[in-house]
Amino acid sequence: MKPAPFAYVRAESFEHALDVLAEHGDDALVLAGGQSLVPMLNLRLVQPAVVLDINALHALSTIDTHAEGGLRLGALVRHREIAIHPVIATRAPLLRAAAPWIAHPAVRHRGTLGGSLALGDPAAEWPACAVALDATIRLASRARGERCVAASAFFQGLYQSDRRADELLVGCEFPRASDDSVFFFRELARRHGDYASVGLAVSARGRPGAWQDLRLVFFGVGDTPVSATACSAALIAGDAFADAQTRLEAELEPRADLWFSAPAKRHLAVQLLRDAWRDLGNPIGGT
């Protein structure tokens, strides 16, 4: 299929991009990596009046550290760069662990962090990682300048976020991993490279029997990344794993997809929780 007619605008500068979004608002869509947008255009799932190409904005392709030692990634950082960059490996290991799970090499070469966050696909890896790492998403508009939104508040519904129509997602900031931080990432899909039916991103601080912080973020089981806070609290408190499992099952309300029913997805989420808990060095029989 071919997309419906639209005007193509290649942003010549950051200010030019903000001007286009200020003028067209909801009638404009931003082209970054295009790995989701182009298929949606061809299937006519979206029919914008304007497609704004931001690939010439090289300032949005940077990988930097900020004053607190964490990471500041531009919206145009590609998935493949996250997978291989040495600074990311040391300061945000969860991102490096998640990157190889994203689709296939061709997609990872073109797809971008900002595009994934802006779309907010409930089966995508980066939104779940952003929530698990307590990241901050940076947005900019001509009218209001720049503002920052916690990842936990950014994703608001199925393909819905706190980004306003005239705003450009310019990047994401991740706190630096502490010396006692540990991570886990895994997803289950029908075939490698398919969208995840169920996935889990974990960020924790401490050690078995003495966890200070434990963030369990599931994806593919809701309209947004799902933080299993009750389950996390039970595990930190030292409750039996069976009790934490019961809390998790109560927290998740997955939708069936083409391959798995809602109960099957809940079962898979529990299996991922078991894998993560063992991988972090904890016994399943208790904490």
- 20 residue type, one letter: V
Comparing CA positions, the residue from 81, 66, 174, 156 lying closest to residue 118 is 156
Q: What is the mean pLDDT of residues 136-153?
A: 97
Percent of residues, the chain, with pLDDT higher than 70: 99
- 181 residue type, one letter: S
Comparing CA positions, the residue from 87, 101, 77 lying closest to residue 176 is 87
Which pLDDT tens digit goes with each residue over 76-96?
999 999 999 999 999 999 999
Higher per-residue pLDDT: 257 or 57: 57
Residues spanned by the domain of 146: 60-174
* Distance, CA of 125 to CA of 196 (rounded, Å): 9
With H, G, I as helix, E, B as strand and everything else as coil, classify residue 147: strand
Same domain, 68 and 167: yes
Paired tokens of 11? 């942003």
CATH of the domain at 79: 3.30.465.10
Same domain, 71 and 167: yes
Flag whether pLDDT at 67 surpasses 80.
no
* Distance, CA of 168 to CA of 31 (rounded, Å): 11
Q: What is the sign of the dihedral through the CA atoms of 275, 279, 280 and 281? A: positive
Which of 174, 200, 222 is the endpoint of a domain?
A: 174
Q: How many Cβ atoms are within 10 Å of 21's Cβ, its own excluded?
A: 26
DSSP state, residue 164: -
In a domain, 103, yes or no: yes
In a domain, 285, yes or no: no
Flag whether pLDDT at 45 surpasses 70.
yes
Is residue 75 within 8 Å of 32, Cβ to Cβ? yes
* Distance, CA of 190 to CA of 178 (rounded, Å): 35
Same domain, 120 and 24: no
In a domain, 1, yes or no: no
Which of 150, 174, 198 is the endpoint of a domain?
A: 174
Res. 285 pLDDT band, cuts 50 70 90: low
Q: What is the mean pLDDT of residues 197-219?
A: 95
In a domain, 200, yes or no: yes
Same domain, 170 and 100: yes
CATH of the domain at 21: 3.30.43.10
Which of 174, 200, 215 is the endpoint of a domain?
A: 174
In a domain, 286, yes or no: no
**How many angstroms from the chain centroid is the CA of residue 74?**
14
Same domain, 250 and 198: yes
**pLDDT of the residue at 194:** 87
Res. 258 pLDDT band, cuts 50 70 90: confident
Burial class (CB in 10 A: 0-12, 13-18, 19+), 131: buried
Same domain, 169 and 90: yes
CATH of the domain at 205: 3.30.390.50
Count of the separate structural domains present in the chain: 3
pTM recorded for the entire structure: 0.94
Same domain, 163 and 225: no
**pLDDT of the residue at 287:** 43
Average pLDDT taken over every residue of the chain:
94
Is residue 167 within 8 Å of 21, Cβ to Cβ? yes
Q: How many Cβ atoms are within 10 Å of 280's Cβ, its own excluded?
A: 18
Res. 197 pLDDT band, cuts 50 70 90: very high
Res. 160 pLDDT band, cuts 50 70 90: very high
Cα–Cα distances (Å) from 210 to 235, 236, 281, in that order, read: 10, 7, 12
**pLDDT of the residue at 68:** 79
* Distance, CA of 99 to CA of 244 (rounded, Å): 28
Q: What is the mean pLDDT of residues 24-46?
A: 96
Res. 286 pLDDT band, cuts 50 70 90: very low
Cα–Cα distances (Å) from 71 to 86, 108, 217, in that order, read: 12, 20, 20
Comparing CA positions, the residue from 90, 63, 87 lying closest to residue 75 is 63
